Copies of this chain bind each other. A is one copy, B any other.
């Protein structure tokens, strides 16, 4: 496994993280994802982490980096499917994923992205902000 597949769903890209991330795989994902955003003009990235039992500071930083990179390429990032135990650990570790939106599942994440990209389309001056 040297690539995490990136699926295109209409205007959005979906990444399902299933395997243990290590440095090289995380770098590869950043490269692939930024390339796909610029190639497809995707407006949003959905990152599914439902199969991760543990999110440590490395993964947390990777998610925040990917979201920041996507943002400068004009795409919003939504993390979906976080396990309740992961949410507890994140807060206990003080990792609050600043600037990353979250949603319970892919359907809700897509709805969030749709409304977020519509808002931005309606009022170009609007700040992208983060989770309401």
Q: How large is the interface on A (under 10, 10 to 19, 20 to 34, 35 or more residues)?
A: 20 to 34
Query: How many of these chains are in the complex?
Result: 2
The interface residues of chain B lying within 8 Å CB-to-CB of A16 are 5, 7, 16, 18
A61 interface contact, C-beta 8 A: no
Determine how close the nearest CB of chain B comes to the CB of A111; give it in whole angstroms.
10
Chain A contact residues, majority secondary structure: loop
Among A1, A7, A8, A16, max chain B CB count under 10 A is at A7
List 6 interface pairs A-B (beta carbons < 8 Å), by A numbering: A3-B51, A5-B48, A7-B48, A9-B106, A14-B14, A16-B18
Closest 4 CB pairs of A and B: A5-B51, A16-B16, A7-B106, A5-B50
